[in-house]
Amino acid sequence: MIWVIDASVAIRWLLEDESHPNADAVLTQVVHSPESFSVPELFGFEVFSVIQRLHPDGMNAYTRAIIPILQSGIFRQPMTEELAIAAVPFIQSGLTGYDACYAAMAKMVAGKWLTFDNRAHSLIEHHRVSCSLDQNMPKDWA
Q: What is the mean pLDDT of residues 53-78?
A: 96
Residue-level pLDDT at 135? 82
Is residue 140's pLDDT more than 90? no
Over residues 84-97, the pLDDT tens digits come to 999 999 999 999 99
Helices (H), the chain: 7-14, 21-32, 42-54, 58-61, 67-70, 81-92, 97-108, 118-124
- What is the reported pLDDT for 83? 98
Domain map of the chain by residue range? Answer: 3-132
Averaged pLDDT for residues 3-22: 96
- What's the half-sphere exposure (Cβ side, CA atoms, 13 Å) at 77? 26
Query: What is the third-level CATH fold of 3-132?
Result: Rossmann fold (3.40.50)
Q: What percentage of the chain exceeds 90 in pLDDT? A: 94
Q: What is the pLDDT of residue 142?
A: 62
Q: How many residues does the structure list for the chain?
A: 142
